[in-house]
Structure 1
Amino acid sequence: MALYKSKKVYGVIFMQYRTLGKTGLKVSVIGFGTIKFPQISEKQASEAINRALDLGINFIDTARNYGDSEHKIGIAIKERRDECYIATKTSSRSYEGAMKDLEASLRELQTDHIDLWQLHNVCDMQKWREVTAPGGALEAARQAKEEGKVDHIGISFHRALDVMREAIKCGEFETIMVLYNPLDEENTGREIIPLAHKHNVGVIVMKPLSGGTLALSLSDEEREEKHRSSNGEWFDPIVRGCLRYVISNPAVSTVIPGMRFTWEVEENVKAADMPPMTEEEKDALIREIGKLRKTYKYSQECLRCGYCLKVCPQNIQIPEVFRAVYVYKGYPEETRHMGIEIYKALDPSPEECIECRSCVEECPAGIDIPERLKEAVEFFKQVIGKP
């Protein structure tokens, strides 16, 4: 996947562009993930996207089930549609459901075509068979492409290596979206991404910061203040390191960190203007990450993606429950109290879980959430009960 000539922006940032596999699209190595857009206003979303476009980002990723993300993107890009590629997704497994999603996406995004339409989180072989069978979502994607409503077809997954291999080799998909970061690279980094590269399938990387886990422990307000007070010079070394780590892999076409604010865009885009990481820098990054968390392993730790929140009938803030445990167990002793404070602030309490297991079906990391919630409750009963 060729590296295209960088674009100089405002005499400061050089954005790199790579070919997105067999699509032929020249995409910015730093893209824009919008899963967090439901948390911000239309005005904030427009400001962030327009700043991203100004700084050379030309790839914006969303999904039908990212709340009002598509709607906010549609408003933001209305006058600049020709400056960016829009990628969205359908979680439907059927032809009818996928077509319904497509029409909704076109309407919300205020566009007559989707540059890249992806089948969302095809998480196991059963789902793979559903989407690829006659009357499945892939049939809808083929038809939409023939009709000019979709330019290119992709697929995303969080795990399921067997599905990834099938998707890459079958020839139907022009792109894949996979999880890849310094602590989640042993399968995607060593096997899946090289395999995609071999078959000229474009690689889009999500979760470069593991859903925000791989970052210094600072609030949004603290980050913004540091950014502004330093005239944009301050940066989170973990965040920048993870982004550089991902794009240092030449087989990666683009990485899509979730962003909400202009200062995040300004900070993240600078990773594209740096040389590939050396092995020494990669080792140093791992050591720094180790100071944040003592243990971390994909499929064992919450990715804070928020999928469970959409289906919990009790409105339990599941990622925050797990975050409280991680903070207490993983942070230095003098800051462990933060975990207790996070737990005490939870409303409703995780004790209100009714074990319906709807969350388990949605969890891309395969966590037995009800069981882990019970463990968290018992853990903090013991911790808080100590003098």
Structure 2
Amino acid sequence: MSLRRLGSTDIFLSPLGLGTVKLGRDQGVKYPNGFTIPDDKQALALINQARALGINLIDTAPAYGESENRLGPLLKGQRQDWVICSKVGEEFNQGQSSFNFTPEHARFSVERSLKRLHTDCIDIVLVHSNGEDQHIIEHFGILELLADLKAEGKIRAFGMSTKTIEGGLLAAQKSDAVMVTYNLNERSERCVIDYCATNNKGVLIKKALASGHICQAPDKANLESSAPTADQDPIAASMEFVFTTPGITSAIVGTINPAHLALNVEKAQAVLKAAK
């Protein structure tokens, strides 16, 4: 897969990224089916498979339970092969999420993530919003703190994982990139993507497959509006929908199933090849 520049930064990403919430947390997640967190051997095999398939973006967060702690040792010897995206703002302890958007906590969180990930620089750090995007941006100074950490060389790019249109637009104005929800069933944040495309900002997509729900019970009406036929493979339709939208840098897929990972890459590559 050809790499794509993240906005105006010097970071280049594969069109698909590997999400790692399932490496560290199985509570309070919104997937349609339960799953077993893979052991280290299985997790390393998945990471190696993703790298062999051309994926170079790996997405994690303190809110993903033990994900960061596990990735540090698992990426030993291959750190240079990966662009790591982590987050600040949300914590997950004893089965519960909590939020802290103060600059002091954000700095603490980044320093802790550096240690957990066994690295001296995190490529991308995003604010993990609780849904109050504008309030967080306007009242806490957290994006300014991340800009300071970028100037200090502790991170290479920063932005926000948003949940509102207004927050996404404001975050895009003040940072390098945003992460937005965009899939066959959820399209309201398209205007944020359009803004980023016009203003050379990076766009990461979360829930490109609606956390697996599109594969379970695709919305026929939505599929019909984006695909040639209503019975088209939902994964192919989803990849076509995402990767024919201008401005998107990369989409995160959080699978721990090797066959699903290979299929996701195959479908994405088919769309990307046809678009050339």
Give the alignment's TM-score, normalised by structure 1.
0.58
Look up the match of 1:358. none
Look up the match of 2:116. 108
Structure 1: gaps (5+ residues): 1-14, 218-235, 279-387
Per the alignment, in what secondary structure is the counterpart of residue 203 of structure 1? Answer: strand
Pair 1:157 & 2:162 matched:
yes
> In structure 2, do the counterparts of structure 1 residues 42 and 140 end up closer, same or farther at CA, with 3 Å as the change threshold?
farther
Whether contact under 8 Å (1:47, 1:261) holds in the other structure is no
- After the TM superposition, which of the residue ranges 52-61 and 73-82 deviates more from structure 2? 73-82
Which of the two has higher C-alpha Rg? Answer: 1
1:156 shift after superposition:
0.8
Choose from 232, 235, 238 the match for 2:234.
238
**Which runs of structure 1 show a deviation greater than 6 angstroms over 4 or more consecutive aligned residues?**
none
Per the alignment, in what secondary structure is the counterpart of residue 253 of structure 2? Answer: coil
Per the alignment, in what secondary structure is the counterpart of residue 115 of structure 2? Answer: helix
Counterparts of 1:211 and 1:46, CA distance in 2? 22
> In structure 2, do the counterparts of structure 1 residues 105 and 22 end up closer, same or farther at CA, with 3 Å as the change threshold?
same
Per the alignment, in what secondary structure is the counterpart of residue 272 of structure 1? Answer: helix
1:49 shift after superposition:
1.0
Whether contact under 8 Å (1:37, 1:68) holds in the other structure is yes
Pair 1:199 & 2:204 matched:
no
1:75 shift after superposition:
1.9
Look up the match of 1:73. 71
Number of residue pairs matched?
A: 237
**Greater RCO, 1 or 2 (C-alpha within 8 Å, sep 6+):** 2
Per the alignment, in what secondary structure is the counterpart of residue 214 of structure 2? Answer: coil
1:18 shift after superposition:
1.5
Whether contact under 8 Å (2:159, 2:171) holds in the other structure is no
Look up the match of 2:92. none
Pair 1:268 & 2:264 matched:
yes
Deviation track 1:152-183 (CA, whole Å, cap 9, x = no partner) reads 1111112x2111121222xx311100000011
Look up the match of 1:127. 136
> In structure 2, do the counterparts of structure 1 residues 246 and 209 end up closer, same or farther at CA, with 3 Å as the change threshold?
same
Letter of the 1:18 partner, please give it: R
Per the alignment, in what secondary structure is the counterpart of residue 182 of structure 1? Answer: coil
Look up the match of 2:180. 178
1:276 shift after superposition:
5.5
Look up the match of 2:4. 18
Counterparts of 1:45 and 1:56, CA distance in 2? 17
Letter of the 2:131 partner, please give it: C
Per the alignment, in what secondary structure is the counterpart of residue 46 of structure 2? Answer: helix
Where do 1:49-68 residues align within 5 Å?
49-68=47-66
Pair 1:188 & 2:197 matched:
no
Deviation track 1:10-55 (CA, whole Å, cap 9, x = no partner) reads xxxxx13221111132211011111222232222221111110111
Counterparts of 2:4 and 2:267, CA distance in 1? 15
1:58 shift after superposition:
0.5
Counterparts of 1:152 and 1:122, CA distance in 2? 21
> In structure 2, do the counterparts of structure 1 residues 151 and 163 end up closer, same or farther at CA, with 3 Å as the change threshold?
same
Counterparts of 1:43 and 1:212, CA distance in 2? 24
Counterparts of 1:212 and 1:56, CA distance in 2? 22
Look up the match of 2:221. none
Q: Would you tell me which structure has more strand in proportion to its own residues?
A: 2
1:97 shift after superposition:
0.6
> In structure 2, do the counterparts of structure 1 residues 37 and 240 end up closer, same or farther at CA, with 3 Å as the change threshold?
farther
- Aligned-residue identity in percent: 30
Counterparts of 1:99 and 1:35, CA distance in 2? 22
Whether contact under 8 Å (2:206, 2:251) holds in the other structure is yes
Counterparts of 2:51 and 2:21, CA distance in 1? 18
Per the alignment, in what secondary structure is the counterpart of residue 57 of structure 1? Answer: coil
Structure 2: gaps (5+ residues): 25-36, 90-99, 218-231
> In structure 2, do the counterparts of structure 1 residues 49 and 131 end up closer, same or farther at CA, with 3 Å as the change threshold?
farther
Whether contact under 8 Å (2:194, 2:246) holds in the other structure is no
Per the alignment, in what secondary structure is the counterpart of residue 104 of structure 1? Answer: helix
Per the alignment, in what secondary structure is the counterpart of residue 86 of structure 2? Answer: strand
Counterparts of 2:122 and 2:63, CA distance in 1? 16
Counterparts of 2:72 and 2:107, CA distance in 1? 19
Look up the match of 1:338. none
